[in-house]
Amino acid sequence: MRKILIGLTIIILIVVGFLVYVYANLDSIVKTTIEEAGTRVTQVEVTVDAVKIETTQNRAEIKGLKIGNPAGFYSEQAFSLGDIAVVVDGSSLTEPVLHVEKVTIDAPSIIYEVGDNTSNIATIQRNVESFISRVSGPAGENATKDAKEINADQNGTRVVIDHVYIKNGSVAISASFLGGKKLSTSLPDVHLTDIGRDSNGATPAQVAEKILSAMNGAVIKSVSQLNMDGLMQGVGDFSKSLTAPLGTLGLPGSKAGSGGADDGSSLKSGADAVGNAMKGLLGGKSE
C-alpha cells in the first residue's frame, strides 16, 4: 500500500510540476506554437517577437508577428502584423469550440511584391488554401460533424470569432527588378464578423485564410489606386539593373540582349511596358 501511495505521489508531483512549467513558460510555448504552426500553414517563415498571456483577464498580446516571403520574392517580408490583441470568452476555455470575442491587428505593414504573373500575397494565400484542402478533405465534409468529431479528426481546437479588426495599416508595392524602389499608401480598415459561426467553428488554418483573404482584398484595393507611373519615375537611375531583365523579358523596344545599343528610348519603352503590365496585374487600368 505504501508503495502505491509513493507511486501516486510521484505521479502527482510530475503532473503538478508539468503544469507549473507550462504556466511559467506559457508565453514562450504559445510563441513557439504560432511560429511552427504558422510556418506549416503558410509555407513561409513565420516569426514572433514576443507573446504576453494575461490568464486572469483572458487576454493575449502578440508583438512583432512577421510572415516572410515565398521563394522567388525578395522584399524583407510579406507581412509585419504590428500588435495583435486577442480577447477570449473565459467560459469557453474547456469547450470543444473556443469563443474569441475580439481580435485586433493594429498597424500592420504589408509589402505587395509583384512576380511572374502573381504576387507574394496571392502566393501565400494559395499556400494556406492548399493546406486547408489537404487537411479538411472535400468541401462541406465537416458540415454534418459536431465540433468534437472535427477536433478529433484534425487534432486541433476550433474557434468562433465575433470580431476581427485590422486598422492603421500601410501597404507598399514593389517588384524584384525595381532595385528596392517602393510606392506606399495606407491600407483600408477591415472588419470581419462571425468567423466560424456557421460551420461548427473554424480551424486556425481556416481563420488564417479568412483574414489573409480580407487583407489581400484590401491590399488590391489600395495598390490598384496608386499612380504606377510614380513607381517608375527615376527608373533611369538604375538603368543598368533594368536593362538585362527587360531584354530577358523581350519587352517592346528593348534592345538588350540582342547586341544592339540602347539609346535610352528603349529603356523608357520597356519601363512603360512594365508599368502597364503591373497595372493590369493589380486590377488597375492598363494602357
| Secondary structure (DSSP) of 163-178 | EEEEESEEEEEEEGGG
Q: Is the pLDDT confidence value at 60 over 70?
A: yes
CA 67 to chain centre: 6
Exposure string over 165-200, b if 16+ CB within 10 A, otherwise e: ebeebbbbbbbebbeebebbeebeebebeebbeebb
| Mean pLDDT score of the chain | 73
pLDDT given at position 119: 85
The whole-number average pLDDT for the span 45-59 is 90
pLDDT given at position 220: 80
The whole-number average pLDDT for the span 93-97 is 84
Q: Which residue has the higher pLDDT, 127 or 22?
A: 127
CA distance 40 to 205: 10
Label residue 161 by pLDDT band (50, 70, 90). very high
The whole-number average pLDDT for the span 72-99 is 88
Label residue 199 by pLDDT band (50, 70, 90). confident
The whole-number average pLDDT for the span 42-50 is 92
Label residue 45 by pLDDT band (50, 70, 90). very high
Highest mean pLDDT among 54-68, 164-178, 204-218: 54-68
Q: Which residue has the higher pLDDT, 69 or 229?
A: 69
Q: Is the pLDDT confidence value at 131 over 70?
A: yes
Supply the pTM of this predicted model. Answer: 0.67
CA 147 to chain centre: 26
pLDDT digits (tens, 9 = 90+) for 247-260: 444 444 444 444 44
The whole-number average pLDDT for the span 257-283 is 46
